[in-house]
Amino acid sequence: MRAVLSWLCDFADFYSLADREAPGYYDALADALADAMNARGLVVEGIEKSGMGLDQVVVAKVVEIHPIKGADRIRRIMVDAGAGHLEQIVCGAFNFSEGDHVPLARVGAVLPGDFAIGLRKMRGVESNGMLCSARELALGVDYDGLLLLDRETRPGEAIADAISVVPDIVFDLAIEANRPDANCHMGVARELAVHFGLPFSVPGAADLSGVPRRDLDPATVRTDGCDALLLARFGDVSGASVPEYVSRRLGLAGMRSISPAVDASNYVMLELGQPTHPYDLAALPAGYIGVRDGSEGEELTTLDGKRRRLSVPKGGANARDMVIVDAKDQAIGLAGVMGGESSEIGGATTSVLLEVAHFDAGMIAKTSKRLGLRSEASARFERGVDPQIAETAVARYSQLIGVVPDEIAAYSSTAAPVTVRLRLERLEALLGAALPVGKLIGDLESMGFGCSETGEGLLEFVVPSNRPDVAIEADLIEEFARHYGYANIERRQLSVPKVGRLTHPQRMRRAISEFSAARGYQEAWSATLLAPGEQEAYGDHADKITVANPMAIEESVLRRSLVSGMLRSLGANVRRGEARVDLFELGKVFSIPAAGAEFPAETERAAWLSYREQGQAEQPYGLLLDLFERFGLELSAGYRLVPSSEAGGSALVEEGFYGLHPDNSLALVAGAVIVGALGMVNPQAISRAAGEGATGVATYLELDLAATLFVEPELRRAVSVSPYPRAEFDLSFAVEPGVLAVELERRIEGALGEMEATVSLIDEYLGTGGRSLTYRVTVAAPDRTLGETELRELRDGAISAAVSPGGAILRG
């Protein structure tokens, strides 16, 4: 909503808010009003001053127009600006010809918006200033071309003298969706008048008491989306004109001046908030219009020249469009949104039928959205127009064009006013402040509320018809708070009767992140929404959750693993030439809901990706061990590592782990559930993500956090450490490729029983003789020094555990 100061002042004398004689009067006035608007929730997004700062702008007569070689968007213009010689200007507008008078901002001028005009050169041609549009001078919204001045103006004359330039201020306001009353000058002015305690009055309207009236035939309205319709017939508007300020104010408010009949309609809308629509009566057989629901496939051409086809989507009553029809039941306009071309007001219009209606907000909103067609009218109807303002609107329209209607026909089924009760005790209890209630009731009455006391501390308010936002006690409490001023409510300290603390998973999330960063990983935030087929390309063919209305198809499928996003990030980095990339991420993954469940399986995972063009990438098994060690978990307690192929590649994918090398990856299993995966990234996946040029290797670990790192370790008493010397021996085994190193390690550990032992792989040999693994075992007894015999027994036990079925063969 663009609110024009002079327009607001028609309702109350806001000019008196600053000292007219003082320098900077308009600045002071703008500040005072903007502060008040902001404090009342009419948010000021911009302030533009009009008719000021035009000292260096003069009338220039276009004398010659020359093309500029090699430029088709600018021309060289020679103008007479009263200097006694022609001056050269470069100009990009094309809406004028030789002999036209246009505004010239001279070098040194500072146009509204702090736009300083300097001497410029374009395509080697010097420009001694700028020829201006109405918008550049803040005199209107037109910027399609230069502002064309009357040819009676004198070249060189200051623009402020040549045309009637009125100093004015435009406030660009963001009006909240629940305040349709503030979407017009009357509403903004009323709010401000209450704020400043100024007398408020609505500007003059024509006296229509003598106009013949009749009730509209109920058959005129054949929809339940229109609860009031008023038609005013103006038989002769051929001599109609509107006051001079109408087109100027419309321009400042952002609307173009078209003709008196249309301008008056727009003016009434911006002033009172009631959209009206003037029809050319000559185009309406029998002078009739009606309203009904649109039907499937019905077509009409709207004022913007577009052919619109209506449809009736499934979804019931609220999904219909409403149309305005003529006597032949032909659609001639989209009700509440835009008129039709066939009955558009034109230069030849001599008689007008003015439609003033009240439409259902939801239906207008739907139509506007469905057709992608938003107009000043639809924007107001969809937020709610005052159902009681129609008569006032007609009277104001009539007064503006200076023509009294021949007849008014009306239909109305408007509901009774809303009443809301307020407990004064509740008012102060909820706000936490003592309020000057008597004064505030006066403010509400000035806003149009009716107030009566219905009991001890109990008030009843009749809500004005332009305030659909007030329906319950809390709404009234907000209204009181607004008038009191939010800023005047003294802040109070909250005392919290509880202890603030993070939960274990919340603490773990931080600890995992810190651990990973300390290890050299950068935290990534990758896409939750992926492209169709993206996960399939990495081997995941499970069903996925998809977005019904994606913005872009590349962002339409929910991720089932973090790996796709990690690979995207890897690809982007490798393409930028990175030779090593270490990324980690914590995030949610999503699977189709289990049978009967409403919500999808949404699990939190952590993933680590390590890429090296050369050399060793992170060993993911080592990372897993370190994570478990760091957070007090034991892999041997309830977890198993199984080769992906053995776990069943499909089972792994089923659980949302994919993208790994089928023969160089492991599944982490807890009980019977796969809760993680680790290993080499499938080289094909790297090529796909990073291009064929990516020659490095990547390793990967992904964990279901709830099943792994979020598990709270059992509390253990401090363990004592053996004070006796440690013995050490190495064991070498020949193993089949399918045997896991970790499996042998587990077996050896198992054989050492009560001993304090560490088993570590110290060599893996892959050669012509097959594969061999060498472990170093260190062992100590908790309560004695191990003797030779005992040590030999332990060693033999370890060997036989390792070589038992499915295991290894001892090497020499």
Partner 1 sequence: MDLEELSAALSGIEDEYRGRAPSVASLRELETLRSDFVSKKGKVALVYRQLGAMPAELRPKAGELINGLREKIEAEIAAAAPALEEAERIARLAATAGDPSALLSGSRRGAGRLHLVTRTRIELEDIFVGMGFTVEEGPEVESEWYNFEALNIPKFHPARDGQDSFYLNLGEEDSMVLRTHTSPVQVRVMQNRELPIYAIMPGRVFRRDTADARHTVGFHQIEGLVVDEGITFAQLAGTIETFTRAYFGPGITSRLRPAYFPFTEPSAEFEITCTICKGSGCRTCSHTGWIELGGCGMVHPNVFAAVGVDPERYSGFAFGFGIDRLAQMRWEIPDMRVLTENDIRYLSSV
Options 145, 243, 600, 683; binder of partner 1; rule CB under 8 A: 600
Q: How far is CA 784 from CA 722, 749, 781, in A?
A: 8, 19, 6
Q: Choose, by CB under 8 A, the member of 68, 86, 430, 741 that binds partner 1.
A: 430
CB atoms within 10 A of CB 107: 14
Q: With H, G, I as helix, E, B as strand and everything else as coil, classify residue 370.
A: helix
550 near partner 1 (CB under 8 A):
yes
Give the contacts of 306 (CB within 8 A, at least 6 positions apart). none
The yes or no reply on residue 545 touching partner 1 (CB under 8 A) is yes
CB of 510 to partner 1, least distance (A): 6
Dist. CA 21–CA 2, nearest whole Å:
27
**H or E, element range at 809:** strand 809-810
Does residue number 546 form part of the binding site for partner 1 (CB under 8 A)?
A: yes
Cβ of 306: how many Cβ atoms within 10 Å? 12
Binding to partner 1, residues 657-696 (CB under 8 A): none
Paired strand residues for 122: 125
User: Does the footprint of partner 1 cover residue 553 (CB under 8 A)?
Assistant: no
Binding segment (CB under 8 A) for partner 1, from list 269-277, 593-601, 681-689, 723-731: 593-601
According to the binding rule CB under 8 A, does residue 581 interact with partner 1?
yes
Candidate ranges 411-419, 454-462, 592-600, 692-700; the one touching partner 1 (CB under 8 A)? 592-600
User: Which uninterrupted H or E stretch holds 120?
Assistant: strand 120-122
Residue 40 contacts partner 1 per CB under 8 A: yes
Task: Name the nearest CA neighbour of 538 among 653, 671, 392.
Answer: 653
| Residue 142 within binding range of partner 1, rule CB under 8 A | no
Residues in contact with partner 1, shown as a per-residue x/- string from 357 to 376 under the rule CB under 8 A:
-----x--xx--x-------
Q: Choose which of 329, 602, 793, 796 interacts with partner 1 (CB under 8 A).
A: 602
Residue from the set 582, 704, 743, 745 that interacts with partner 1 by CB under 8 A: 582
Told to check if 472 binds partner 1 by CB under 8 A, we report yes
| Distance of closest approach, residue 387 Cβ to partner 1, in angstroms | 19
195 binds partner 1 (CB under 8 A): no
Spatial contact of 580 and 520, defined as CB atoms under 8 Å apart:
no
572 binds partner 1 (CB under 8 A): yes
Count of residues making up the chain: 812
Chain center to CA of 56? 42
Select 327 or 472, whichever has its Cβ closest to partner 1: 472
The nearer residue to partner 1, 517 or 809, going by C-beta atoms, is 517
Q: Cβ 508 to partner 1, closest distance in Å?
A: 13
Q: Does 619 bind partner 1 (CB under 8 A)?
A: no
Q: Which residues inside 282-321 make contact with partner 1, applying CB under 8 A?
A: 318
d(CA 3, CA 43) in angstroms, rounded, equals 12
Which one of residues 467, 482, 560, 747 is an interface residue with partner 1 (CB under 8 A)? 482
Q: Does 477 bind partner 1 (CB under 8 A)?
A: yes
- Chain residues 720-779 in contact with partner 1, contact rule CB under 8 A: none
Kindly state the tokens that stand for 445: 């009455």
The footprint of partner 1 on residues 160-179 (CB under 8 A) is: 176-179
Q: Residue count at the site for partner 1 (CB under 8 A)? A: 95
C-beta of 304 vs 425, nearer to partner 1: 425
Q: How far is CA 84 from CA 59, 66, 155, in A?
A: 14, 20, 10
C-beta neighbour count of 422 within 10 angstroms: 25
Report, in Å, the least distance between residue 528 CB and partner 1: 6
CA atoms of 335 and 324, how far apart (whole Å): 6
Cβ pair 79, 87 in contact under 8 A: yes
- Identify the residue among 94, 143, 450, 486 touching partner 1 (CB under 8 A): 486
What distance in Å separates the CA atoms of residue 79 and residue 128, rounded to the nearest whole number? 10
Q: How many whole angstroms separate alpha carbon 249 and alpha carbon 641?
A: 77
The identity of residue 2, as a single letter, is: R
Asked if 114 touches partner 1 (CB under 8 A), the answer is no
**Minimum CB distance to partner 1 smaller for 95 or for 522:** 522
Question: Rounded distance, CA 382 to CA 377, Å?
Answer: 9
**Candidates 155-163, 216-224, 544-552, 792-800; binding stretch for partner 1 (CB under 8 A):** 544-552
Q: What angle do CA 718, 719, 724 make, to 5 degrees?
A: 145
206-235 positions binding partner 1, by CB under 8 A: none
The Cα angle at residue 86 between residues 84 and 92, in degrees rounded to 5:
145
Q: How far is the CB of 432 from partner 1 (least distance, A)?
A: 3
Partners of 309 in beta bridges:
299
* Range 379-408, binding partner 1 (CB under 8 A): 382
